[in-house]
Structure 1
Amino acid sequence: MSWFSALPGFLVALVVLLGPGLLWGAILGLRRLTLLALAGPLSVTAVVVASEVASLAGVRWSLGPLFGVSAGVALVLWLIRRRFRDALAMDPGGPLRRTLIAWGVAALPVGLITLWIFGNPENIAQSHDNIFHLNAIRYIAESGNASSPNLGYLGTRAPTFYPAGWHALVAVVLMSSGLSIPAAINVVNLAIVLTVWSFGCLFLVTRVTGERRAALLSAAVLSGAYSSFPYLLYEFGVVYPFMLSLALLPAVLGLVVQLMRVGSPLRTTTAGNLLLLLGVLPGLALAHPSSLVGALGLSLPMVLAAAYSRLRRDNKAPWKTLLPTGAFLAVLAVAWMNLRPARSSSDNWDELGNAGQALVEVVLHSPLYRPPAYLAAALTLAGAVVVLRRRRHRWTLALYALAAMLFVVANWKEVPDLRWIVAGVWYNDFFRISAMLPVAGIILASLGAVALIDVAARRPAVRSFLRGQGGSRKRAAAVVVVLLLVGVALAPLGAVQRGVTEAAAKYRFTENSQLLTSQELALIQRLPEKVEEGAVIVGVPLTGASLSYSYTGIPTLLPYGVLPSSAAGKVVFAALDEMSTNPEVCPAVEETGVRYVLDFGISSVHPGETERAAGLEDLTRENGFERVDSEGTAALYRVTGC
């Protein structure tokens, strides 16, 4: 499949990802950059609300419920705007042409790099969590249920909560476009970074600087200057739901800046900002709850800066400021300590991390032992100097310092209790936390870039050059183009360059790829010709065998990477190859419907590790198995001993 043939599916993804939000935002009076930046977050809310409504109503998840909910909410918003037009006034923003040029500067390099990382539309990330993600999308498409309270364990156990926002989004694109599951994933992720992330970064920065040309273009260049987002999350985990939530975060924080009035003066109302926050937070929460907590935490510098400013202006009634600030702190504390997984879920990270190294990495923008991101590091330093000297927007330095603290403490394995309190929301996983650093740092770096541009523009030699023969407008345009080309070229150097290379290596099918090899994929694609309808396949999930369900729809006994919950399933995994001697096996086979074994060896998706199931090892004719098909070392066996 080519990217050109995937284009119709990509357009469907854009309609789903932007359409509801554009409708809602236009009704509320949003214009230009604000409309474009909030279209994605509002649309994600439309997706998660519609998927839950469809589940409660017993309606299959599809475009129908999405359009119905979008239209219903649009009517409510129209009535609200008609009644409270003045109270919901929004700043119209700067020229649309300027915004679209800046978006092009942001989206083009990130989009091209993303296409290179993915390689082919049907490549998959060769990572552990993708077993669940691919199978979850198949499960939604077949069951018609994209509800978060039901997604966990994919129907093999009692309903369990798992944030389904990203899966619901991909599933509706899948069912509406005719794409394969891998291609639907890739076009949706491409659409997310091109629109939600790129417009969100422009929106966040300009809430502080105003919609100046220099600020827009600086934010555009810097949106692709960090390795930890989006490029890390293309391959780490993969944690696609978390990636979606972080792409939403700049727009959410931009609304907080507007609400707290700690940035550029804008003609917005408190009621309007609160309504917009109410509109985007459900999407953020069901994309990934940890980012809702992260948004609360990263809002702290803005909230405190606003409280300090108000107390300085008017201290006659301090309770009017202290009461809402205290309420926010209480909500933050409760959310921080309760919206988190069990402590045992962080066990994999107990012996990992180096706090000293992490401290150096946040200064150099080189998390996870990568080379420095030279452009981002230099501009962040310049921004820090600017805000300290001008005594304006110092909260932006506190914002990055807060995110840096989260990353450093998450690496501080010598203080496990403090580490859990600070970073337990993210499983103590400093990879995930590193992906928040660009969101927290892009304002500071953009302020540094704008300050450097302003200083250069005031120098007599520069002003003389721009006003020389040929017209200042043409020369200024040429200078801007040259600076943009230099910035876009410098942005990937260092950490980004290495991060992109590592991500691309995870999206290639080879004879030794970690999750699914080219031979195993070829065998899976022939399964519909070999396996009769109604039969269930069993295989060791972490060898990639469970992806047979995602690719073919043929049920697999265990569609994710843990042990089965049923007693019969446990017997199959522990003793299937003992059919001739163990009287428990054949009743378990009959109960589970297992008729085939997909043998992908013992190599785990985790490099250098092996994965075994005791009952799936001796697949011989004597033990009741018949080889039906094979490709290289991968083989399909029919169960004949029962």
Structure 2
Amino acid sequence: MIVGWLAVVPALLVTLILVFLPGLIALRGVGMRGLALVAFAPLLSVAMIAVAAILLGLVGVAWSPLSLGSVLLVLVLVGLLLGRLLGHPTPEPPGPAGDEGRWLLPVGLAIGIVLGAWRLIAYVQDPAGISQTNDAVFHMNAIRFILDAADASSLHVSAVIGGSGFYPAAWHAVVSTVVAITGGQIALAANAFTIVIGAVIWPLGLAWLTRCITGSRRIAALAAVLSPALQLFPLLMFQWGVLFPNALSVAMLPAACAVVMSLHVWNGNDRPVASWVRGVLLIAVAVAALALAQPAALPVWGLICSVWFTDLMLRVRRAAVLPARVAIIIGVWLLLGFMWYALAQGTGGSHWPQFQGKFESLAVAVLNGQLRIPFAWGISILMLVGLVVAILTPKLRWLAATWLCLTVLYVLVASVGMPLVRNVLLAPWYADPYRLAAFAPIAVIPLAAIGLDRVVGMIVARLPRAAVIRSWTAVGVATAGVLLVVMLRPVPMPAFLEGTFDAESRYLTAADTYLSTDERALLESLGEYVEPGERVIANPSTGAGFGYMLSGVDVYPHTWSPPRTAAWDLIAERLRDVGEDPEVCAALKSFGQPRYVLDFGPGEDAPGRYLMPGMTDFADQPGFELVTERGDVSLWRITACED
């Protein structure tokens, strides 16, 4: 398996350069240094790439590595100019007295990155594997559309399925650029970005957030080591859905919170106006990155920052007189409510029912076993210790409150069926428990790191050089624990409504998977049999949904969901009778008169899947001519409607 993943190295390196280099250069010019610089760089880079795509789309310039590079160069120069105009803030402050070990944090980050990458690789297994999920059909085909249309704008990418309007396409812009630069497969580039999201961006952001919370390099290092320990994130977002944009947005969320909590670094007394402008710009970058990756992270970002800010305003009395502080707090929460409601109105409401009792959902959240995932006993015990420490430490109480808020959101989505709750409060996530459960580690991991630090500290307190021993012992214990989880524990994907688990990775292609081995082989060879510009029609509830992505041929529909029209319903039921039923030809004409059809079977009757009995068994039917076949799947020419 490891040898096979060597093929991902070029795409991985290009992805790392794209996601880190522009942000590193611009932020260094603004004055960021150290962990803050490295952790926040992906947010600026992702925001710049997504904004560049929108700008190029608006002016009609083709999307390419050259055009993107030109816009990025201009944006980086603007950042450097702003840095010179606004001046540099004070450097990142050192850790508190006794915070030892300059190498401790880099070592912790390295361990977290390696373990996180291994966990993702061990699940995906095939470096060119395609997630066998409904949403993957849209995301993969969207990449092909961007490459064909030379347009990665978030305002235009939904045209792949005939739509219009805004769709967050930061993830798609990055992956399409990697494909364009490397010339590799779309799936391979997507999997490379998966590693960067889950094993690099995520631990860096968590470490920075934890350091902002605690002021300790040691605890930040522990958070980095523990970052891949929970299945809830990052792994679950690459199992369920598949939710690539959500994964990118959640991975950037810790750094987006940390930049707000470190605003004191940007608010020096020497140039207060410049300092505030710098702070506002950094927050704007965080918001843009989250919004253009997946706006569903914005309410949680606002919630975490509001809880932190409320605690700060109530605890730091010199900030302002009490009435003014209360007014500011109310204003912040009203702003959060407005943003939350606006995002709720932009979705389709609730798509999922409740499935657990209130006490059961609370219990599984405490044990980090949401969605019937096996309980994470070790992390949960450390988290509970961390909760006790946080409650007893005034400056950390807001973290305990944040954990409670995220837990309440999960309890609501799992156990409350009230329409107001599901269609408004939970609407930004379609009342999807998978999406909401993925936010829990943002609070759980820092709490577990605090708990582990306290436990190890109590054990070694009486030993000579206790501080040094405490640091390296804690890192060693965390590494050993996560290693056991990553190396020995299986990570099946839970289907919470059915109460079942996947038998294997959803990225593996086999004879009986959604995209079967024969289906993939035929789709990859379609260009040999279908003339340029011709459309192929197919049942998207089979592997044919990936046809456009794998072949570049216009295999319609480009998504997992078929058109909801009477014409399509007629085709789904009676296409095989086209030689005897002229109404079918009229229905085909409404979809561009496709001259080919794929027979990948009738589909399936399951959530998000459809049976289409008329789109199979064309042998011996008048009006069809066999073009080619692979195993039990085949490509047919529709001759009945030819003039």
Q: TM-score, normalised by structure 2?
A: 0.89
SS state at 2:637 partner? strand
- Deviation readout 1:462-490 (Å, 9 max, x if unpaired): 33xx69xxxx97x7887466434423335
Label 1:153 to 1:541 Cα distance change in 2 as closer, same or farther (>3 A). Answer: farther
Q: Which residue of 1 aligns with 2:313?
A: 307
What does residue 189 of structure 2 align with? 184
Asked whether the 8 Å contact 1:44–1:283 carries over to 2, the reply is yes
1:600 corresponding residue in structure 2? 600
**Residue of structure 2 in register with 1:17 after alignment:** 19
Q: What is aligned with 2:483? A: 489
Partner of 1:167: 172
CA contact (8 A) 1:152 1:162 kept: yes
Contact 1:235 1:503 (8 Å CA) reproduced: no
Distance 1:298 1:496, change over 3 A: farther
The letter of the residue matching 2:33 is R
Q: Which residue of 2 aligns with 1:641?
A: 640
Task: Read off the aligned partner of 1:522 and give its amino acid letter.
Answer: A
Question: How far off is 1:314 after superposition?
Answer: 5.8
CA distance in 1: counterparts of 2:624 and 2:550, whole angstroms: 24
Q: Is the 8 A contact 1:19 1:39 kept in 2?
A: yes
Q: CA deviation at 1:125?
A: 1.1
- Counterpart in the other structure of 1:586: 585
Aligned length: 620
Distance 1:477 1:275, change over 3 A: closer
- Residue type of the partner of 1:175? A
Shift of 1:605: 8.8
Cα deviation code 1:345-387 (max 9, x no counterpart): 424x135344332111111111111221122101111111112
The structure 2 residue matched to 1:276, chosen from 273, 282, 287, is 282
Q: Distance in 2 between matches of 1:398 and 1:161?
A: 34
**Contact 1:231–1:503 (CA under 8 A) maintained in structure 2:** no
Of residues 363, 376, 392 in structure 1, which corresponds to 2:395? 392
- Whether contact under 8 Å (1:34, 1:93) holds in the other structure is no
Judge which range, 163-172 or 395-404, deviates more. Answer: 163-172
Q: Shift in Å at residue 496 of structure 1? A: 7.4
Preserved CA contact (<8 Å) 2:119 2:486 = no
Q: What's the CA shift for 1:303?
A: 1.6
Q: Which residue of 1 aligns with 2:379?
A: 376
Q: Contact conserved, 2:141 with 2:549, CA < 8 A, in 1?
A: yes
Within the alignment, does 1:216 sit opposite 2:210 as a pair?
A: no
2:112 counterpart residue number: 106
Letter of the structure 1 residue corresponding to residue 122 of structure 2: W
- CA shift for structure 1 position 196: 1.0
1:64 to 63, 66, 78: 66
Shift in CA distance, 164/357, structure 1 to aligned 2, threshold 3 Å: same
Pairing of 1:13-412 with structure 2 (within 5 A): 13-86=15-88, 88-91=89-92, 97-154=103-160, 156-212=161-217, 214-259=218-263, 270-310=276-316, 312-313=317-318, 317-340=321-344, 344-347=348-351, 349-350=352-353, 352-412=355-415
Question: Is residue 119–residue 504 contact of structure 1 (8 Å, CA) maintained in 2?
Answer: no
Aligned-pair CA distance for 1:571 = 5.5
Structure 2 CA distance, aligned partners of 1:401 and 1:478?
A: 31
Please say if residues 361 and 410 of structure 2, whose CA atoms lie closer than 8 Å, have aligned partners that are also in contact. Answer: yes
TM-superposed CA distance for 1:192, in Å, is: 1.5
Residue 265 of structure 1 is matched in structure 2 by none
2:498 is matched with none
- In structure 2, relative to structure 1, the CA distance for the partners of 1:610 and 1:446 (3 Å cut) is closer
Tell me the CA shift for residue 142 of structure 1. Answer: 0.5
Q: Secondary structure at the match of 1:40?
A: helix
Instruction: Please name the residue that 2:497 is paired with.
Output: none
1:432 and 2:438 equivalent?
no
SS of 1:280's equivalent in the other structure is helix
Residues 576 and 621, structure 2, Cα contact 8 Å, conserved in 1: no
Distance, in Å, in 1 between the alignment partners of 2:406 and 2:223 is 19
Cα offset, 1:288, TM superposition: 0.5
C-alpha displacement at 1:236, in angstroms? 0.1
Deviation at 1:572, TM superposition (A): 4.2
Aligned-partner Cα distance in 2 for 1:634–1:491: 40
User: CA 1:288 to 1:260, structure 2 compared with 1: closer, same or farther past 3 Å?
Assistant: farther
Structure 2 Cα separation of the partners of residues 605 and 109 of structure 1: 38
Of 447, 472, 475, the match for 1:444:
447
Aligned partners of 1:546 and 1:558 also within 8 Å: yes
Distance 1:120 1:414, change over 3 A: closer
SS at 1:629 equivalent: strand
1:571–1:603 distance in 2 versus 1, CA, 3 Å:
closer
SS at match of 2:236: helix
Residues of 2 paired with 1:84 and 1:153: CA distance?
A: 41
Query: Is this contact kept in 1: 2:154–2:168, CA < 8 A?
Result: yes
Distance in 2 between residues matched to 1:614 and 1:478, nearest whole Å: 63
Q: 1:351 to 1:632 in 2, by over 3 A?
A: farther
Q: 1:309 to 1:351 in 2, by over 3 A?
A: closer
* Counterpart secondary structure, 1:145: coil
Which one is further off, 232-241 or 409-418?
A: 409-418
Counterpart contact for 2:602–2:616, Cα < 8 Å: no
Given that 2:520 and 2:543 are in contact with CA atoms closer than 8 Å, whether structure 1 keeps it comes out as: no
Q: C-alpha distance in 2, partners of 1:418/1:193?
A: 30
Aligned-residue CA RMSD in angstroms? 2.9
**Does 2:530 align with 1:531?**
yes
The structure-2 alpha-carbon separation of the partners of 1:196 and 1:12, relative to structure 1 and needing over 3 Å to count, comes to same
Q: TM-score, with normalisation over the residues of structure 1?
A: 0.89
CA distance in 1, matches of 2:459, 2:276: 37
- Please state how far the C-alpha of 1:456 moved relative to its aligned partner: 2.6
Q: Distance in 2 between matches of 1:134 and 1:448?
A: 41
Q: In 2, Cα distance between the equivalents of 1:499 and 1:564?
A: 29
Task: Tell whether the 8 Å contact from 1:370 to 1:494 is kept in structure 2 after alignment.
Answer: no
Residue 586 of structure 1 deviates from its aligned partner by 3.1
SS of residue in 1 equivalent to 2:595: strand
Which residues of structure 1 form unaligned runs of 5+? 262-267
Residues 526 and 68 of structure 1: CA distance in aligned 2, closer, same or farther (over 3 Å): closer
431-440 vs 187-196, which deviates more? Answer: 187-196
Gaps of 5+ in 2: 96-100, 266-271, 495-500
* Amino acid paired to 1:35: L
Which amino acid in structure 2 is aligned with residue 273 of structure 1?
A: G
1:42–1:305 CA distance, 2 compared to 1 (3 A): same
* Structure-1 separation of matches of 2:626 and 2:139: 29
- My pick for the range that moved more, 121-130 or 408-417, is 408-417
CA contact (8 A) 1:224 1:491 kept: no
Query: Mean Cα displacement is larger for which, 67-76 or 560-569?
Result: 560-569
